Amino acid sequence: MQYRKLGRTGVEVSTQCLGAMMFGAIGNGDHGDCERIVHRALDAGINFIDTADIYSAGESEEIVGKALKGRRDDVVLATKFFNPMGEDRNRRGGSRRWIVQAVEDSLRRLGTDHIDLYQMHRRDWDTDLEETLSALTDLVRQGKVLYIGSSSYPADWIVEAQWAADRSGGARFVCEQPQYSIFARSVEEAVLPACLRHGMGVIPWSPLAGGWLTGKYRRGEQAPAGSRFASGVGNQRWRRSVDEDPSAPVRFDAVERLSKIADDAGLPLTHLALAFVTEHPAITSTIIGPKTLEQLDDLLAAADVRLDTAVLDAIDEVVPPGTDLPGIDHLDGNPSLGRAARRS
């Protein structure tokens, strides 16, 4: 395992970050098994864990908290807020009212007195950015949060947040968490350069493109047993994505071409995909989200893989730099693109 500085902070984190989204009801409901995944990751040298209040409605944070008993000081612990945590319309977003409640809820579930990196899960279109940053600054000054970050912010919001913090003299975002993979490269155009210019760490999510870059989803075949698309609602989504999504053939074509590149390089496709993300100079730590110990062991084996120029150039031929494959969803929800915002 290698380590890098988290932006301009003095904190060093492993180049793999253990993502806990699959801990709990939406993934692995066996708490003991999830705790073993955490311990195996720590023993392998990972010192960075990322979760969120919304993951399995707080269950993921509870599992992480239990797993870290006796080892909390060995970990840079990150969580996120923003998404709805109940029916009450004020239990969400970036308002001061919600932030001061959300952090207390996360601290309780995590069983800790401070969060190392507290991130806004999405941008809030309806709340003044200065209000959000002011509330987060107060948490830093109170010692409940050590650093703050953003997730899935576009480049202009990343820059505006830096300017807002400079104007107020408050805490600044030290880290951004974007979607980034071979399939989702549009952040290379502006988001990653903005993070580099402002000295921000970058911890990308979905480096395996929702499982597509594991190579386990094949044209004309059922989703494999044990995958997120194998049964129930997940299988219905998979069938729709294959049968009804016009971008599916493009994805299958890309997987087949990338599998050939991986084979020629002597690598599993998962290792090629993870190493590709880590190679970008803006990247601090790549989030891996295993559901089982077997998946974790496979992902850990990619930690020290490096790709040479020829392999990276071959990947560029499949998905050009700064572009996304069709069908990539950045979960933007930009209201400026809605009908009402475009009509005077």
Catalytic residues: 55
- Residue with token string 């499982």: 211
Q: Which residues contact 193 (CB under 8 A, 6 or more apart)?
A: 155, 282
CA atoms within 13 A on the CB side of 225: 0
Cα-Cα end-to-end distance for the chain: 55
- Residue with token string 């806990």: 20
Is the C-alpha dihedral spanning 160, 129, 93, 11 positive or negative?
positive
- Going by C-alpha positions, the residue among 154, 156, 150, 191 that lies closest to residue 171 is 150
> Cα 126–61–135 angle (5° rounding)?
35
Q: Are 18 and 51 in contact (CB under 8 A)?
A: no
User: What is the C-alpha separation between 246 and 35, in angstroms, rounded?
Assistant: 40
Tokens describing residue 102: 């959300």
User: What is the C-alpha separation between 2 and 231, in angstroms, rounded?
Assistant: 37
The total number of residues written for the chain in this structure: 344
- Going by C-alpha positions, the residue among 213, 155, 210, 158 that lies closest to residue 187 is 155
User: What is the C-alpha separation between 141 and 171, in angstroms, rounded?
Assistant: 9
User: What is the C-alpha separation between 246 and 249, in angstroms, rounded?
Assistant: 7
User: What is the C-alpha separation between 307 and 320, in angstroms, rounded?
Assistant: 17
User: What is the C-alpha separation between 12 and 334, in angstroms, rounded?
Assistant: 34
Backbone angles phi, psi at 48, to 5 degrees: -135, 125
